[in-house]
Every structure is written in structure tokens, then in C-alpha cells.
A and B are shown apart, each in its own frame.
Chain A
């Protein structure tokens, strides 16, 4: 299910991003129940706050939202042998593998992003991420340079062939693996948001392991207030801002990592080298959809602030913290969404 076609995506996002703040003004809302629910899903903790006149209706909507996320996890997880992606990784190098229309569509969008980002976002990173062990509950390990170089040859999104006529997928190189870790969580959040709306909930916040989508206003009529975690002082906030009908996601080096021989190795791998990108501690992205925020955060973490500024006008807003702790951000974020750095 394509949220945006490639041809209209950027201008449409830019209009939403820069116009969104103008239209989302605070206004009083009638008293409601604010129902909080939590579930372990997508390899993380997912919290949903749903507002409504009925607790039971809000609980029911959350149930369907969680169920949708669980369904997506079961379909798109790369470390489940029985998922569509698991089956793809097992067999698509030998023969074309048919997938559902939904999985085909997300693969199409992922490859669109890869082309758009010149391979800095690449779902064929799967063969490398398996080597590091970041996506399993096993030890994180430093791969040997020879093995890494050998597997790096398999990281090339152009070697994935999609056939829309029969929704089949084929890998052109034996040993290729796809990993939708950089896009699936965002997509699952967007689908959960759609499910909540379908069940009559318009005011809600979904927080899936730090990737957030906020809809409507809070019970007090104000926008949702979001904190950005400080990438080194982990009990502190780096900044706060206001959010409504938008998503935000961070790529950071400070949670999923291991210290090996006094060096920090984290989970955001540069598809060009197979090693973690090291120039930034965190990149936070504000975007109209959680999928876009998720993908752009991963991409910009590798691209860096100077190159990002050359993309202007950008379809997203971004805040970077570089390796020395210096913070860079789009002024529009401050102007439109009240971004405030915490002193």
C-alpha cells in the first residue's frame, strides 16, 4: 500500500511539513478518557495513548492496532523463518518467490528510497547485519574484515528484482538477504494509526520504541509534547517540541551497541562499508508519516548534516548531534513546531 507515489512524494511532503504547523492550532476539546496501553511487539515496547468518550471503545481500537502491528511483524520480520521476508531470504536467490501485495508494495517503496538515496538506505544490508548479530538475541560480534568484504558484495539493492505482474521477488546474487529493519517499524506505526482511526479514535499517540506518531490534540486541547533523548546523558532530554498529525523517529548510536576493544559499535550500518557510521551520535527526523521518519532517520545518520543541507528544501525536518556533541537542526522545526533545546 503506497502512501505516496514516487512522483508526488517530495512536493506533497514539503507542503505538509511546512504547512502543518499553520493549520494545527490548539482548541478546547470536550473531556475524554485517556486510555494507555502497552505491548511488547516489533522487538520493542509499544505504547498507545488513545482518547475517546468510551474506555471500552478506545481499548478495542488499541487491540486492533496492536493486532495489526503483530501481523506486520509476523509478515516482515527477517529473523522469523516463517515470515514472508524469512521465506524470501531462504529461497529468492534460487527462484522467484511470490509475496503478498502488501509485502511487494513495501519492497517497492524500500527500493524507491534506495534509488532516491543512492544506496545509502539499502534493505539488502541483511547479509551484513546478520554478521554483526544486532537483530538477534545473540552476542554482538565484530566480523572479520575478509568475511565482511565478501558479504559486502551482496549489499546492492539493484540486484533485487520485483515483478509486479505476479508479485514475485528474485535476488540476483546467491546469499543476498533483505532486512526491513529500517522501514518496517515505521510502516507498522502508520498501519496502527490507520487502524485506530478506522475504529473512531482521532486523538492518539503511538510510541514504538521511540518512533512516535501523534494524531490530533491532547485532552487539554494542546499539541502532544515530545522529548528528544540526549544521546549521551541518557536520563536527560536534549530538546522538546510539539507534535500533531506528524511522526518523529531517531537513529542513534547509544542503545543497540557493544563496546569491543574500547570502541563503540552500534547497529546503524553504512551500506558502503559494512561498518557502523561514526560521524553522528543521533539524528532525529520529523516527517508526515512514521515510515518516512524511520527511513529518513537511518539515511541521514549516514549522509550527515552538510550533505543534508544541500537537499533543501527537504521533505523532512532534521536534528543532528555530531560525534563531538554539537547540535544542528532546521530552523523551521523551531519556528513551526516549537523546538526548544534543553539547557
Chain B
């Protein structure tokens, strides 16, 4: 996978940007020397997450956390991936390989120190992001155990999307901005009783199969948790 492909993939993972439009813009902005602005999103794919985090944490503490809180989550990505980083600020990709400020200089240094970009097996995807007022669901993320195995755009229509779990399978339906589990190999079918999800932060969970389907995006309902 080339760096351009990595950015396409990560851009979808982090923000759902349409890269074909964004990338030339990013290049122009990078060349013009604009500094990253809020909202801030940084994604790193690495097979050495603890070491990268040690380096990254102090950089972000000094360059970003002094101004704004940051959300952080990490997931394992099964299979072969390109280890690299993608920085998005104000909805634009920032080319930190052509550094303009202390943050991008620090990121470039970390990327070089860890030999990015390079191919790795079963890496961890680490994501930092600022909260935004954007309340739109972006996509469905499908996890088996805590591995991110699939992403589905909400505008896609899938009548029967099969996901292999640890004991069997589930089948998802994604239609008209809602997702539900329409079939499951599990006995109790609790996951099928969970109804449809459409708001960021909502989950569908099949415990026996250890499959979790999450609506990604900022929290539209403005809730931090749902009691049920």
C-alpha cells in the first residue's frame, strides 16, 4: 500500500473525507505553510503502539493539549497494513513530511524514528481527535473482539452484510441511515432484539460472537452513555 492509499483509508476512518477533492487542497495548504487548526484529528497505524505513544504523548501535551482536550481510542487492525500517520486539521490533510511548525516537525521525527511508512502485520490504529459540533453519523465500524474488521458508509445500502464472529456470524442491514442485525447464529438473538441504530455512539452487540457494530461520528444526541 502506498502512502496515498494509506491516507485515503485513514481519511475515511477518521473523518469520511472525500480524498479526491481534499488531497490537492492539502498539498496547496501544506505548500502555503498554514498551521493546523481545530478540529484536530491524528491517526497512527503502528506495530509499536506503546513506544509511539510515549513519544507522541509529550508532543501532543505541549502542542495541542495546552489549548484543547483530545479524545483517544485505539483498535487492532487484522492483516497487513501500512504503518504511517495522517494529520487532519480544519478538515484538511496536513503534510507533516514537509513540516511547518513544532507539531509537524515532531510528527515527522516520530515517523522517521519508527521507519514510517512501512508494511506491518496486525498493527494498532491510534486515533486522537478534538470534539466538534458536527453531529452527523459518519459510518458504521464493525469490530470482532476489539479488532476493527469493517467500515461501512451510512449512505451505502446493504440488505444483508454478513460478518464472521468468533462462534458464527451476524448479518447486518444498512438502509436509509439505519443499521440493524437481521440474522445471527447465536441462540438468544438478543442482538436482533436491539432494534436499529442511527445515532453516533449507538451500538449493536452480539456477545456470543463478540461482534460490535458502532455508529461512528460525533455524538448527535449529545449523550455520553445510554442506559438500557
Known: A33-B72, A44-B207. A235 touches B198 (CB 8 A): yes
Interface string of B195-217 (1 = CB under 8 A from A): 11111001101011010100000
| B65 touching A224, Cβ below 8 Å | no
Shortest C-beta distance, B158 to chain A (Å), equals 17
| B61 touching A211, Cβ below 8 Å | no
| A33 touching B65, Cβ below 8 Å | yes
**Chain B residue contacts of A40, Cβ below 8 A:** 145, 207, 210
| B188 touching A256, Cβ below 8 Å | yes
| B228 touching A255, Cβ below 8 Å | yes
Asked whether A250 is an interface residue with its Cβ less than 8 Å from the other chain, the reply is yes
| A205 touching B193, Cβ below 8 Å | no
Contact among A224, A226, A235, A248 for B196, CB-based, below 8 A:
A235
What CA separation (Å) do A240 and B50 show in the bound complex? Answer: 37
Known: A33-B65, A219-B131, A234-B194. A45 touches B203 (CB 8 A): yes
What CA separation (Å) do A207 and B227 show in the bound complex? Answer: 8
Stretch at the interface among B16-24, B99-107, B218-226: B218-226
| A55 touching B57, Cβ below 8 Å | yes
Shortest C-beta distance, A335 to chain B (Å), equals 19
Interface residue ranges of A235-260 to B (CB < 8 Å): 235, 237, 240, 248-250, 252, 254-258
**Chain A residue contacts of B224, Cβ below 8 A:** 49, 205, 214, 218, 224-226
Interface residue ranges of B31-60 to A (CB < 8 Å): 50, 53-54, 57
Contact among A36, A58, A226 for B223, CB-based, below 8 A:
A226
What CA separation (Å) do A229 and B194 show in the bound complex? Answer: 10
**Chain B residue contacts of A134, Cβ below 8 A:** 188
| A31 touching B66, Cβ below 8 Å | yes
Asked whether A212 is an interface residue with its Cβ less than 8 Å from the other chain, the reply is yes
| A39 touching B70, Cβ below 8 Å | no
| A55 touching B72, Cβ below 8 Å | yes
Chain B interface, DSSP helix/strand/loop, else mixed:
loop
What CA separation (Å) do A291 and B154 show in the bound complex? Answer: 38
Shortest C-beta distance, B171 to chain A (Å), equals 18
| B221 touching A237, Cβ below 8 Å | yes
Asked whether A138 is an interface residue with its Cβ less than 8 Å from the other chain, the reply is yes
Asked whether A25 is an interface residue with its Cβ less than 8 Å from the other chain, the reply is no
Asked whether B178 is an interface residue with its Cβ less than 8 Å from the other chain, the reply is yes
| A211 touching B146, Cβ below 8 Å | no
| B221 touching A205, Cβ below 8 Å | no
Asked whether B67 is an interface residue with its Cβ less than 8 Å from the other chain, the reply is yes
Interface residue ranges of A15-47 to B (CB < 8 Å): 31-40, 43-45, 47
Shortest C-beta distance, B180 to chain A (Å), equals 8
Contact among B65, B186, B227 for A212, CB-based, below 8 A:
B227
Contact among B53, B210, B212 for A56, CB-based, below 8 A:
B53
Shortest C-beta distance, B66 to chain A (Å), equals 7
**Chain A residue contacts of B197, Cβ below 8 A:** 235
Interface string of A220-237 (1 = CB under 8 A from B): 100011111100011101
| B69 touching A219, Cβ below 8 Å | yes
What CA separation (Å) do A138 and B208 show in the bound complex? Answer: 10
Q: Number of contacting residues on A, CB 8 A? A: 57
| A235 touching B187, Cβ below 8 Å | no
Contact among A36, A56, A219 for B54, CB-based, below 8 A:
A56
**Chain B residue contacts of A214, Cβ below 8 A:** 224-225
Shortest C-beta distance, A83 to chain B (Å), equals 18
Known: A36-B72, A45-B205. A212 touches B225 (CB 8 A): yes
Shortest C-beta distance, B177 to chain A (Å), equals 10
What CA separation (Å) do A218 and B226 show in the bound complex? Answer: 16
Contact among A39, A54, A249, A257 for B193, CB-based, below 8 A:
A257
What CA separation (Å) do A228 and B53 show in the bound complex? Answer: 36
Asked whether A53 is an interface residue with its Cβ less than 8 Å from the other chain, the reply is yes
Asked whether B122 is an interface residue with its Cβ less than 8 Å from the other chain, the reply is no
**Chain A residue contacts of B226, Cβ below 8 A:** 207, 210, 226-229, 237
**Chain A residue contacts of B61, Cβ below 8 A:** 53
Asked whether B15 is an interface residue with its Cβ less than 8 Å from the other chain, the reply is no
Most chain B CB within 10 A, of A38, A225, A284, is at A38
Known: A45-B203, A227-B221. A248 touches B227 (CB 8 A): yes
Known: A31-B68, A38-B146, A219-B69. A225 touches B222 (CB 8 A): yes
What CA separation (Å) do A127 and B166 show in the bound complex? Answer: 30
Asked whether B173 is an interface residue with its Cβ less than 8 Å from the other chain, the reply is no
**Chain A residue contacts of B57, Cβ below 8 A:** 54-56
| B73 touching A35, Cβ below 8 Å | yes
10 closest Cβ pairs, A-B complex: A234-B195, A219-B69, A210-B228, A229-B228, A227-B223, A31-B69, A235-B196, A36-B73, A207-B225, A227-B226
11 chain-A/chain-B pairs, Cβ below 8 angstroms? A32-B65, A36-B72, A49-B224, A53-B65, A54-B57, A139-B187, A225-B222, A234-B193, A235-B196, A240-B223, A258-B189
Contacts A207-B226, A219-B69, A227-B225 known; list 10 others, CB within 8 Å: A34-B70, A38-B146, A43-B207, A55-B53, A55-B57, A210-B226, A225-B222, A226-B227, A250-B228, A256-B190
Seen from chain B, the residues whose Cβ lies within 8 Å of a Cβ on chain A are: 50, 53-54, 57, 61, 65-73, 131, 143, 145-146, 178, 186-190, 193-199, 202-203, 205, 207-208, 210, 212, 221-228
